[in-house]
Amino acid sequence: MKKIVYLLVLVLIASVGYSEKVFATGAIAISEEEEMYGVCTGADDKDTAKACAMKACKNHGGTECKFRVWFESCGAVAMSTKYFGVGWGADKETADEKAIENCDHNCVVVASECEK
């Protein structure tokens, strides 16, 4: 009986050690007025990803940057002269396709990032 309890305790300890999030988090921020964007990958949590994407957008010249989306695998930004779309998915192709669909005004993918 002691062996079973000991084994259960070991399993519990091991599962707690591996319960942290497997994927890192990414985020996208966009400034529509300047047609600027910021994409961040590899953050430990959503708040860090959001702050990183906002900073990247501002570093690219955006003054009206707004957070748009979090993602855990891949994220993409599509833009035209007046419109934008964001997408996300399990792979780059899915994220790119969703970004184009969400833009729907002759947009092209300008950024596409995946977690490593």
Higher pLDDT, 8 or 81: 81
Tens-digit pLDDT profile for residues 27-70: 999 998 888 999 999 999 999 999 999 999 999 999 999 999 99
So what's the pLDDT on residue 23? 55
Q: Which amino acid type is present at position 16? A: V
Cβ neighbours of residue 18 closer than 8 Å, sequence gap 6 or more: none
Tens-digit pLDDT profile for residues 4-25: 323 333 333 333 333 344 457 9
**List of E strands, 6-73:** 25-31, 36-43, 66-71
So what's the pLDDT on residue 24? 75
10 Å CB burial of residue 116 (0-12, 13-18, 19+) is: exposed
